[in-house]
Structure 1
């Protein structure tokens, strides 16, 4: 169920998806006026309860909740002007007040200690502006976690930027470990597959990147 209300409206609207019992039928959406607070509330409950054949494809509760977090975190991160609340099993997991900065929102989501290990990054030309935070070489990671790229306030996956950051990291780590023991497993890992932690915002002109990119498309290509 999705319930949404604009601040200037008296009431909001509720969109409900009801599953049918017929295998051939699709989920039927209904929209009707509803009492609501300002903003948008999304509720996921009893997924595929009427269709056991689909329900068996769901993973454990922990895995499915991790997918929700993967959606929640980047959206909350890039919109510090918006208040976000994440509730799971009637327990508040995250409540983020609006009005802060990108920097404050990252620290609030990931923790101040984690944020303190990041390095501010800023670069600007006539065509685009990049700012955000990236980890120092000694904090490189094994997996591609904590990599968030936003283009015009949209979370995207851009392999060109990811590869550029990883290549630069490889060179820095090689210099960092020069003259040190290569027998250390941590050093061997860094030399083999260094992946930076990065939270980057990029603003470009409309004619500098894909302008007709579908709203649900995460992959981004520069023209």
Structure 2
């Protein structure tokens, strides 16, 4: 499998290769997922949406939430997520939806906390994505974003420009400002992962 093919699997995992990529990323994303969930301070009153939910790890980590929904374009990942969330799905306290982050298939005023971990690499119009998040957000909602920083991404052959956008801290801040957010509307913090990999974690007030 070529490095570009690996990058495409990361963008939309499918089949056996997608399941393998998903298993690897579950381990690689453990620290970012925990940091993002912690930063959003999810409690028992919150309805939570994980955009690009993958195997459902982040949603499984917040059982205290009033309701959880995961969106992903990969049927392979949603199948795995279904196993992680089997009980809340059966009880009607969770849902999994196959769809597009640029056209969120939810009603306005639906969610208090939104997660967008490792998906902006595949987003060509961040302001439009933020608009989608605003549309489905309740008053006082927050959006948590995680991306690996460009300086670290540049070392990975599977994350080249053919499949991934790269974000420096300045790039991410610029995209958020172009989304109509003021500097007081978001914070961006560095997150250092094992192997001296640098990540960027942003919390956005919608």
TM tier relative to shorter chain: under 0.3
Larger Rg: 1
Normalised by the size of structure 1, how large is the TM-score? 0.24
Higher helix proportion (structure 1 or 2): 2
